[in-house]
């Protein structure tokens, strides 16, 4: 069963395997709240799906920093993400938090997902007619961008 | 030599350049048509650590990565 805290997959995520794996791994750790957020690719603007590039060294350090932050609240964070193509109505992203208390988990998952969207080194492309088109208008500059300009 | 990696949608092969700091890199990339338009929006990492200042000395064997705007999920 899959249970690593950060998991990357080629293509769409095996959602049940991932979330069941985390549940089996962490339900005996005395966490009172286990929250998962499952992102599903929507059929909109004529896309067939999304595609992703990930830069893993910086993703790992970003995730490690979040794990340290969560630990201060006696919580842990979990994440799974796709690389490559993910078709409509399948999942490309799961975030999770395990915490002794629900309030910590609810607040942390909000912050974790929002920071993920603006900081994690992942690039999104729309798949249209078999071609990848960079989702530039939905992308966010990482803090500190522009120092070479 | 310092290796320059262009991540994600920049879609450009790595460069090997003989430079001593990021200011020199900035001058080189401003004159590169494939990259110059990305500079304003790209974050920069040196040896996989994001940095916020151009005042960084570089040594042979270092790696500089340019990270365009992101959108995970």
Q: What is the pLDDT of residues B20-60, one digit of tens each?
A: 999 999 999 999 999 999 999 999 999 999 999 988 999 99
C-alpha–C-alpha distance, residues B50 and A113, integer Å:
20
pLDDT at B39: 97
Would you list the domain boundaries of chain B? 2-67
DSSP-assigned letter for residue A140: B
CATH for B2-67, options being 3.40.50.620, 3.30.420.300, 1.10.520.10, 3.10.20.30: 3.10.20.30
Q: What is the mean pLDDT of residues A83-111?
A: 97
Cβ contacts of B68 on chain A, cutoff 8 Å: 123, 139
pLDDT at A3: 64
Residue of A nearest to B48 (CA): A58
C-alpha–C-alpha distance, residues A36 and B11, integer Å:
34
Token pair, residue A50, equals 């999304």
Q: Does A124 score more than 80 pLDDT?
A: yes
Could you tell me how many CB contacts below 8 A there are between chain A and chain B? 110
Cβ contacts of B29 on chain A, cutoff 8 Å: 148
Q: For tokens 């001593």, what's the residue?
A: B20
* Among A52-56, A88-92, A117-121, B52-56, the least confident range: B52-56
The angle subtended at Cα A79 by Cα A72 and Cα A135, nearest 5°, is 120
- Output the DSSP codes for B2-70: EEEEE-GGG----EEE--SBHHHHHHHHHT-TTTGGGTTT-EEEETTEEE--S--B--TT-EEEEE--B
Does domain A6-127 correspond to CATH entry 3.90.1170.40? yes
Q: Mean pLDDT in chain A?
A: 96
- The answer to whether A139 contacts B71, with C-beta atoms less than 8 Å apart, is yes
Closest CA to A8 of A108, A84, A113, A90: A84
pLDDT at A2: 57
Q: What is the mean pLDDT of residues A82-111?
A: 97
Would you list the domain boundaries of chain A? 6-127
**Are A63 and A77 contacting, i.e. CB atoms less than 8 angstroms apart?**
yes
Cβ contacts of B22 on chain A, cutoff 8 Å: 147-148
Q: Does A1 score more than 80 pLDDT?
A: no
């Amino acid at each position: 069963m899959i249970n690593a805290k950060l998991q990357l997959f080629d293509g769409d995520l095996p959602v049940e395997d991932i979330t069941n794996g985390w549940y089996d791994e962490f339900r005996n750790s005395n966490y009172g709240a286990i929250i998962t957020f499952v992102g599903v690719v929507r059929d909109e603007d004529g896309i067939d799906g999304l595609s992703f590039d990930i830069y893993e060294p910086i993703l790992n350090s970003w995730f490690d920093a979040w794990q340290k932050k969560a630990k201060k609240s006696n919580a842990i964070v979990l994440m799974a993400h796709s690389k490559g193509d993910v078709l409509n109505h399948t999942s490309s992203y799961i975030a999770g938090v395990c915490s002794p208390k629900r309030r910590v988990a609810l607040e942390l998952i909000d912050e974790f997902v929002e920071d993920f969207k603006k900081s994690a080194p992942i690039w999104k492309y729309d798949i249209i007619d078999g071609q990848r088109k960079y989702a530039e208008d939905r992308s966010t500059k990482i803090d500190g961008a522009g120092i070479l300009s | 030599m310092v290796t320059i990696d262009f991540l994600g949608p920049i879609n450009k092969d790595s460069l090997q350049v003989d430079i001593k700091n990021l200011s020199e890199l900035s001058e080189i990339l401003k004159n590169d048509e494939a990259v110059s338009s990305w500079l304003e929006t790209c974050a920069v990492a040196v040896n996989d650590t994001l940095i916020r200042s151009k005042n960084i000395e570089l040594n042979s064997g270092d790696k500089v990565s340019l990270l365009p705007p992101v959108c995970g999920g």
